[in-house]
Amino acid sequence: MNAIEVEGLRRIYKATIGVIRRKVKEVEAVDDISFSVVGGELFGLLGPNGAGKTTMVKMLTTLLLPTAGTARVLGYDVVETPGPVRSRIGFIFGGERGLYWRLSGNDNLRYFASLYHVDPDVAHQRIPYLLDMVGLQARGNEKVEGYSRGMKQRLHIARTLLHDPEVLFLDEPTIGLDPVGARELRQVVRNLQSESKTILLTTHYMFEADSLCDRIAVINHGRLVAMDTPSGLKKNVSDLSVIEIEVFGIPDEVVESLRQSPAVHSVSVENRDQRQALLVHSPLGSEAVPDLLASLDGTRVGKVTVREPTLEDAYVRLVAETG
Amino acid sequence: MAGDEALSRADASARSARKALARGDRPSARRAAFLALKSDPTCELAWLVLAALADPPARRNYLEHILAINSNRETAIKARKVETGERRMLDRAYSVSRRKRWPDDVSAIEDTKPHKTERIPASIRPEGTRKDAESAAAPSTTSFVRAKQNMVQNLRVVATACEMALKHAATDSFIIFAVFVQPLIIALLGLYMLRERGGDYAIFVVVGSGLTGLWSSLLFVSGGALNQERWSGTLESLVGMPTSLEVVVFGKNLAYVTQSLGSMVLAYALASLLFGTPLRVAQPLLFLASIVLTTISFVCLGLLLAPMFVANPDIRNFVNALEYPMYILAGFLFPIALLPGWTTPLSYVLAPYWAAEALHAASTGTASLNNIALDWGMLLVLGAAYVLIGRWLFRVFLRKARQDATLDFF
């Protein structure tokens, strides 16, 4: 049984440009995407900023109308029958917004419980349980404005579980959290997974997707570019090794010349404070290192490591190829 | 042997799933059922527990799977019972009161007849689930029970939204100023300027300026509240929930209108005490009934304004222009007879006009029962009309907001 079914979904945003001679510009945020998520599955949606992840989640949670295509959640069409969908899903969007800061955590949950039509007696029992589950029981009577970002995120999780939804949409739930907070939140997601909830998760953190997701769809420029298990996606780059070279101020032309090398499949540069990390995908592995270092003559080089590709490498390759 | 071990593990897990279900611990029941199926994918009891936990249409899928595993008569009966009547048992098992427990053996479901007229104890399951179970069990009472259930749920939302809006407002210094300090200043000025005119005229102005305060509060605080929801990112949450947005807005408007009403009464009482001018209401009972109907009609009128804020946050610039025309058209501070004749029909479709008529008449002692009955009738009719039009506007503007992606736009 598929909990989520998406067929040929499209969403076009229209923006007006100019003051006197106005022109309408169309931006295709989601372009003909189809996939399905089985009940109890944790499905990841990965993609760079602006790829269309949040737009997809908003369409599935009935907050945005698709331009074309169909989407069903638990068999209900998100456009034709939004009511039953809303009763059965929970959603959180990353960040601190979406809560009443001047109310206490307890009052926030009581309010949202009534909006989800949870019986007051049940809510009375369930709210302390959820606050305890997300580690906020001791702070439940304090105003949300005094909460840290991680606490607000955890309160979001409690909010979305008030009505025991079958399907959860978590849009970048760990964004902006410190490592401890993010780890705690991932544990909560794992617990939900063990309760056989269907979860659609979007994230920028590859290790998070790798450790949590049963399957992952990668989208770029609104298009679905790959969909597989994390290990399946990694197989796409299993023929390549990753050579990571720490450099200090590498000129663009050097990077371009590396790209032309027959031993190099792809090159990317990550800025890390005062230095950069040159990530070279090569089928030759450590054998390619001497030639690479020779090509970098004149550039200050730091640490060099050769490792097996990760999900992040698979993702970077997919995004680069479809960029 | 390994196979036997797996079967016995599956059986133990399935029984523990059933027990967890009986005590209302759904997550453990689900987890144990899945564990059982991991050891034995054909474990009928585990599938039955999962079916009992699921909502339609997933439940039907589980049941079809059970019948595919074992299509004998006994299994078919169990499956059928789970599909139709068991939800009541589940809800009862899951409800906090736990008046009745889930039977120790799922087969006991067969001996349990669903109570057709008994109200299902509310559980944390989604509304649609309860509806589906109910329509399966008692089709003849479905629409009545559903309507009753909806009404109870909506009243709960109105009460909670009202309570939370008041709590929220109590921490907002701007609202405290607008609600408590500003009316006091207006009251002091009004009574100071009119201190020579005598008690009757004073009460006319007091009621009129009180209505102007109500209208301004409705226009700015209620409309602004939706924009505030948008800025704080809660508007999307509200729209994505099973409760209709207009019910939430009704609750919030009720809070703002009663709050400003209360604060004005307090302000004028304090002002009259300071100036020693007694503010006597000539027909207090009629005045009180008029106040109640005025409050309701103002809250309903707010339902016409809010949808525009949902569609476009910039609408506030337009709404600012609505403040003074209402003062004039509704005759808050002077009779509409002073206005050109063509404006009269406009006044007649405004509930504040009838509210002003009723309140002015009851406060100055000029209300006849016939006249005030007409005012009250118009307040009720217009209030109902505003609700109907407001609901339609909410539908249209919410669709537009979902189309134009403006729910999170600020």
Tell me: the pLDDT tens digits for B11-21? 888 888 888 78
Terminal CA-CA length for chain B: 66
Tell me how close the Cα of A41 comes to any Cα of chain B, in angstroms.
13
Contact B399 A65 (CB under 8 A): yes
A164 interfacial to chain B (CB closer than 8 Å): yes
The length of chain A in residues reads 323
Q: What is the pLDDT of residue B410?
A: 54
Of all residues in chain A, the one with the smallest CA distance to B234 is A98
ipTM value of the model? 0.79
Extract the residue ranges of chain A whose pLDDT is less than 50.
Answer: none
Closest CA to B308 of B318, B322, B298, B296: B318
**In chain B, which residues have their Cβ closer than 8 Å to the Cβ of A195?**
27, 30-31
Which residue among A39, A84, A110 sits closest to B58, beta carbon to beta carbon?
A39
The percentage of chain B sitting over the pLDDT mark of 70, rounded to a whole number, equals 74
A190 interfacial to chain B (CB closer than 8 Å): no
* Cβ–Cβ under 8 Å, residues B334 and B207: no
A183 interfacial to chain B (CB closer than 8 Å): no
Contact A164 B34 (CB under 8 A): no
* Cβ–Cβ under 8 Å, residues A67 and A19: no
- pLDDT grade, residue B6 (50/70/90)? confident
Segments of chain A assigned to CATH 3.30.70.260: 236-322
Q: Which position has the higher pLDDT, B389 or B112?
A: B389
Instruction: For chains A and B, count residue pairs whose Cβ atoms are closer than 8 Å.
Output: 151
Q: What is the pLDDT of residue B162?
A: 92
Of all residues in chain A, the one with the smallest CA distance to B169 is A102
- B238-270 burial string, b = 16+ CB within 10 Å, else e? bbbbbbbbbbbbbbbbbbbbbbbbebbeebbee
Which residue among B31, B123, B236 sits closest to A63, beta carbon to beta carbon?
B236
Tell me how close the Cα of A299 comes to any Cα of chain B, in angstroms.
46
B110-138 pLDDT, tens digit each: 233 332 322 223 343 334 333 343 344 44
Instruction: Return phi, psi of residue A193, to 5°.
Output: -65, -40
Tell me how close the Cα of B242 comes to any Cα of chain A, in angstroms.
5
Segments of chain A assigned to CATH 3.40.50.300: 2-229
Tell me how close the Cα of B6 comes to any Cα of chain A, in angstroms.
20
One of 3.30.70.260, 3.90.1150.10, 3.30.56.10, 1.10.10.60 is the CATH number of A236-322, namely 3.30.70.260
Closest CA to A108 of A140, A138, A133: A140
Q: What is the DSSP string of B155-198?
A: HHHHHHHHHHHHHHHHT-HHHHIIIIIHHHHHHHHHHHHTTTT-
Between positions 127 and 146 of A, the ones with CB within 8 A of B are 143
* Cβ–Cβ under 8 Å, residues B192 and B275: yes
**In chain B, which residues have their Cβ closer than 8 Å to the Cβ of A107?**
164, 167
Contact B242 A115 (CB under 8 A): yes
Closest CA to B392 of B304, B297, B312, B314: B304
Q: 3-class SS at B233?
A: coil
pTM value > 0.80: no
Q: Residue B42 has what DSSP assignment? A: T
Tell me how close the Cα of B85 comes to any Cα of chain A, in angstroms.
21
Of all residues in chain B, the one with the smallest CA distance to A115 is B243
- Both tokens assigned to A279: 């990530």
Class assignment of domain A2-229? alpha beta
Closest CA to B138 of B110, B122, B118, B112: B118
Contact A117 B160 (CB under 8 A): no
B357-381 pLDDT, tens digit each: 898 888 888 878 888 999 999 999 9
Q: 3-class SS at B14?
A: helix
Task: Work out the average pLDDT over B253-264.
Answer: 83
A26-45 pLDDT, tens digit each: 888 899 999 999 988 999 99
B315-355 pLDDT, tens digit each: 777 777 887 888 888 887 777 888 888 988 999 999 999 99
Tell me how close the Cα of A91 comes to any Cα of chain B, in angstroms.
8
Q: Which position has the higher pLDDT, B232 or B292?
A: B292
Which residue among A40, A65, A114 sits closest to B157, beta carbon to beta carbon?
A114
Please name the amino acid found at residue A284: L
Which residue among B55, B95, B399 sits closest to A122, beta carbon to beta carbon?
B95
Q: Tell me how far the alpha carbon of residue A259 is from its chain's centroid.
A: 29
The rounded distance, in Å, linking the Cα atoms of A25 and A9 is 20
Tell me how close the Cα of B65 comes to any Cα of chain A, in angstroms.
11
Q: What is the pLDDT of residue B102?
A: 29
The rounded distance, in Å, linking the Cα atoms of A215 and A210 is 9
Q: What is the pLDDT of residue B75?
A: 60
**In chain B, which residues have their Cβ closer than 8 Å to the Cβ of A161?**
none
Contact B241 A115 (CB under 8 A): yes
Residue A280 CB-density burial (10 A; 0-12 exposed, 13-18 middle, 19+ buried): buried
Q: What is the pLDDT of residue B57?
A: 55
CB atoms within 10 A of CB B106: 24
Contact A1 B156 (CB under 8 A): no
Terminal CA-CA length for chain A: 34
Contact B124 A163 (CB under 8 A): yes
The percentage of chain B sitting over the pLDDT mark of 90, rounded to a whole number, equals 15
Asked whether residue B230 carries a pLDDT value surpassing 70, the answer given is yes
Which residue among B26, B160, B405 sits closest to A114, beta carbon to beta carbon?
B160
> 3-state SS string over chain A?
CEEEEEEEEEEEEEEEECCCCCEEEEEEEEEEEEEEEECCCEEEEECCCCCCHHHHHHHHCCCCCCCEEEEEECCEECCCCHHHHHHHEEEEECCCCCCCCCCEHHHHHHHHHHHCCCCHHHHHHHHHHHHHHCCCHHHCCCEHHHCCHHHHHHHHHHHHHCCCCCEEEEECCCCCCCHHHHHHHHHHHHHHHHCCCEEEEECCCHHHHHHHCCEEEEEECCEEEEEECHHHHHHCCCCCEEEEEEEECCCHHHHHHHHHCCCCCEEEEEEECCEEEEEEEECCHHHHHHHHHHHCCCCEEEEEEEECCCHHHHHHHHHHHHC
Q: What is the pLDDT of residue B178?
A: 67
Contact B240 A196 (CB under 8 A): no
Please name the amino acid found at residue B255: A
**In chain A, which residues have their Cβ closer than 8 Å to the Cβ of B233?**
93, 95, 97-99
> How do strand A275-282 and strand A266-272 relate by DSSP bridges?
antiparallel
> How do strand A241-248 and strand A300-307 relate by DSSP bridges?
antiparallel
Q: What is the pLDDT of residue B125?
A: 37
CB neighbours of A302 closer than 8 A, spacing ≥ 6? A245, A246, A247, A248, A275
Q: What is the pLDDT of residue A204?
A: 83
B62-96 pLDDT, tens digit each: 777 777 777 665 665 566 655 554 444 334 333 33
A111 interfacial to chain B (CB closer than 8 Å): yes
Residue B132 CB-density burial (10 A; 0-12 exposed, 13-18 middle, 19+ buried): middle
Tell me how close the Cα of B223 comes to any Cα of chain A, in angstroms.
17
* Cβ–Cβ under 8 Å, residues A92 and A156: yes
Contact A126 B124 (CB under 8 A): yes
A78 interfacial to chain B (CB closer than 8 Å): no
Tell me how close the Cα of B266 comes to any Cα of chain A, in angstroms.
26
Instruction: Point out which residues pair with A242 in neighbouring strands.
Output: A281, A307
* Cβ–Cβ under 8 Å, residues A127 and B99: no
